[in-house]
Amino acid sequence: MKTERCSFDLCDGSGFLVDEDTRTSSPCRCRPLRLAKTRARRLEGQIPRLYREISFEHSDVIDIERNCPAQVREVRAYVRGLDANIDHGRGLWLTGKYGTGKTALAMIVSKAAIDAGHTVAIYSCPRLLSVIRESIDGGGMLDFLDRLAQVDLLHIDDLGAERRTEWVLEQLYSIVNSRYEDQRATLVTTNLDLDALTAQVGERIVSRLEGMCGEPLPFYGTDHRRETYPVKTASA
């Protein structure tokens, strides 16, 4: 099995520095990163099958770009500067109605991050909350939330689709606030505009999203899913 290279070119890839004279070892600077990646692999970081072939050259994305050229240009720029954006905790926030291309563009970003060797977790918001509930039953809720906080890029799709309860707001705030304070990149899509999302999840969460992602990129156009039915597409 191939050994992963040390991020700082200090150790042999084991995560430890070995002193040949004293025959002792000490943790390398890369070890915390290795541990974080190992933990992150237990998160849902797979690109869904529908989006495996998605790219800026995909016919659906070309159609999206015709409707929203400035927005797609922003996503392209984010991907070009991907490493710096992730290192500085900068994310993206895509809004728009169903089928206007938000998820397709977000998946391009997540694919690029995975290909670049970053740890990525991808969840729809309802699925994310479901996993949190399951982890409570299994006694692993805090560990799961810690892993969400540490992953390089957290991709939350369809924020605002969940039923609003105090418990839901508490979990979402905990996740968003942890990433905001640790300057971790977060990628969000939502069908709600700014006012509607604020009403759904609260000012505290939206304020932090703005701090991490800047202003939302609004996507417009007709529903690509209905236009191409029954053929499967990669628009969302």
The SS3 of residue 224 is helix
Give residue-wise pLDDT tens across range 55-74.
999 999 999 999 999 999 99
Looking at every residue in the chain, the average pLDDT score rounds to 85
Instruction: Give me the pLDDT at residue 235, please.
Output: 54
pLDDT in tens, 109-157: 999 999 998 999 999 999 988 888 887 766 667 788 888 888 999 999 9
Q: Give the ranges where the chain is alpha helix by DSSP (H).
A: 31-40, 59-67, 69-80, 82-87, 102-115, 125-138, 141-150, 166-182, 194-201, 203-213, 224-228
Give the pLDDT of residue 162. Answer: 86
Query: 49 is written with which tokens?
Result: 């099958």
Domain-embedded: residue 57? yes
The reply to whether 234 falls in a domain is no
Indicate the number of domains in the chain: 2
- Same domain for 23 and 62, yes or no, is no
Q: Are 40 and 46 contacting, i.e. CB atoms less than 8 angstroms apart?
A: no
pLDDT at res. 120: 93
pLDDT at 158 (0 to 100)? 94
| pLDDT score, position 215 | 92
Q: pLDDT confidence of 36, banded at 50, 70, 90? A: low
Residues 33 and 69 in one domain: no
| 132 and 65 housed in the same domain | yes
Residues 71 and 14 grouped into a single domain? no
Q: How far apart are CA 154 and CA 120, in angstroms?
A: 6
Residue ranges making up the domain that contains 149: 45-228
In a domain, 233, yes or no: no
> What's the Rg (C-alpha) of the chain?
19
Q: What are the tens digits of pLDDT across the range 46-57?
A: 788 899 999 999
Indicate whether 99 and 54 sit together in one domain: yes
pLDDT per residue as tens digits for the range 145-180: 888 888 999 999 999 998 889 999 999 999 999 999
pLDDT of residue 230: 42
Q: Per the domain annotation, does 51 fall within a domain?
A: yes
pLDDT(232) > 80: no
Same domain, 8 and 27: yes
Please indicate, yes or no, if residue 50 is contained in any of the structural domains.
yes
Say yes or no: 11 and 59 in one domain. Answer: no
In this structure, the answer to whether residues 65 and 124 fall within a common structural domain is: yes
CA atoms of 33 and 39, how far apart (whole Å): 10
Handedness of CA 55, 61, 65, 70 (dihedral sign): negative
Verify that 100 and 81 share a domain, yes or no: yes
Is 216 strand, coil or helix?
A: coil
155, 223: one domain: yes
Residue 225 pLDDT > 60: no
Q: What is the pLDDT of residue 152?
A: 94
Tokens 């999840």 — which residue? 201
- CATH for 215: 3.40.50.300
* 119: its two tokens: 């740890």
Shared domain check, 103 and 158: yes
- Please state, in angstroms and rounded to a whole number, the distance separating the CA atoms of residues 234 and 236: 7
- Residue 104 or 30, more confident: 104
DSSP for 27-56, written as a single string = E-TTHHHHHHHHHHTTS--PPPGGGTT--T
Q: Is residue 169 part of a domain?
A: yes
Question: Has residue 219 got a pLDDT over 80?
Answer: yes
Residues 49 and 150 in one domain: yes
Residue 87 falls inside a structural domain? yes
